[in-house]
Amino acid sequence: MDKTSLKILVTGVAGFIGFHMAHRALLEGVMVHGWDSINDYYDVQLKFDRLRKLGIEVDNPSDGDELRSTRFKNFFFTKVDVSDYDLVTELMFQHQFDVVIHFAAQAGVRYSLVNPRAYLKNNVDGFLGILEGARGSKVKHLLFSSSSSVYGLNSELPYSERDGVGHPKTIYAVTKRTNELMAHSYAHLYSLPVTGLRFFTVYGPWGRPDMAPILFANAILNQKPIDVFNYGNMVRDFTFITDVIDAIWQLIFCVPERAVNGENNVWDQSMSSAPYRILNIGNSNPIELKTFISEMEKVIGLTAKVNPVSFQSGDVQSTHADVGKLNGLLKDRIRTSLPKGLAEFIAWHKVYYN
């Protein structure tokens, strides 16, 4: 695909990863359309502020109205709820996107224990419209967000895409695995090239306020106690946002193809004779939660007040990404160290949250 003529759709563009993805694509000079429903799962002001960085100044856009950026002449924003099947398919047929990067979803692992219906509506029903629109408008490559949560009760580390994922712990994980299966069906039936992205604990500037990095930073800076689950005996494969975005940008041009021999490898859960692949997007350098907090203390210059609490239902104790497949596809892959990533994150946090 020729970068200069690309027309990309980024759904969930007011979200954490979607915002960064759109910004990178715009800096690369491609045309980007961004969709978001701007739901109130967390503070919508943060979502509007991300959109302002992309040149969208309207605080209360109407559904379906297309707004043009005042900063990037090649960026257009439309307020779209992806669970609105008719609107999604209509707009995708109208615009004929070359690439679709689908991040729109109901986020949050723990919230799925409280409101599971929101996940089925937004993550499953919403993805169907994207798949149908991509099929009908002959999208050249569909990339979508999955999650390391699909590994569920798997105990063998590092997590490999070849592992079975039949024992999810939450409805959130169920919906993400369902997306992977739906995508495979469309790849097989309609030769739709699809790449699923299993993200591992992404952090960085403009991050979600319900995730640990911002919760911890807020608590340390305001000298309030941090609830540390499983008494701190947790390990996460923290992955800096720019590393994630750089990998996705390269993957846009690495389009999966249908296998020549038409045979499936039954031992590899991530591959298929269809033009379909699943990839871990992680740092492959798991960090203990205690170490993460300690490094954040060094960057901030204050000591955390830690409140150890018991293991929370739906959580996993450790995550660790096997990124051999990803590294094999990318020519050059950046990996930001934890001290450097935290320094950038805290610098942004202090400015944004004053």
Instruction: Please count the helices (runs of H) and the strands (runs of E) in the chain.
Output: 11, 14
DSSP 59: S
User: Alpha carbon of 255 to those of 2, 29, 139, 164, 339: distances in Å?
Assistant: 13, 20, 11, 24, 34
Listed by start position, the domains of the chain span 3-199+241-282+320-335
Burial of 55 (0-12, 13-18, 19+ CB in 10 A): middle
The pLDDT of residue 111 is above 90: no
Q: What's the rounded Cα separation, in Å, for the pair 308 and 138?
A: 51
User: Alpha carbon of 200 to those of 147, 163, 281: distances in Å?
Assistant: 7, 16, 6
pLDDT of residue 69: 97
Q: Kindly give the pairing relationship between strand 66-68 and strand 75-79.
A: antiparallel
Instruction: Please state whether the peptide bond connecting residue 209 to the residue before it is cis, i.e. omega within 30 degrees of 0.
Output: no
What average pLDDT does the chain have?
A: 92
Copy the structure tokens of residue 19: 């915002």
- Residue 259 or 36, more confident: 36
pLDDT of residue 238: 96
pLDDT of residue 268: 62
Q: Kindly give the pairing relationship between strand 66-68 and strand 31-36.
A: unpaired
Task: Please check whether residue 150 is in contact with residue 165, taking contact to mean a CB–CB distance below 8 angstroms.
Answer: yes
Is residue 172 annotated as a catalytic residue, yes or no? yes
pLDDT of residue 319: 93
The pLDDT of residue 230 is above 80: no
Write out pLDDT tens, residues 309-339.
876 766 788 899 999 999 999 988 889 999 9
**Strand runs labelled E in 189-275:** 194-199, 202-203, 225-228, 235-236, 239-240
Q: Per the residue annotation, which of 42, 111, 159, 172 is the catalytic one?
A: 172
Using only the alpha carbons of the chain, give its radius of gyration: 20
- Mean pLDDT in residue range 271-290: 93
Domain 3-199+241-282+320-335 falls in which CATH fold?
Rossmann fold (3.40.50)
The pLDDT of residue 266 is above 60: no
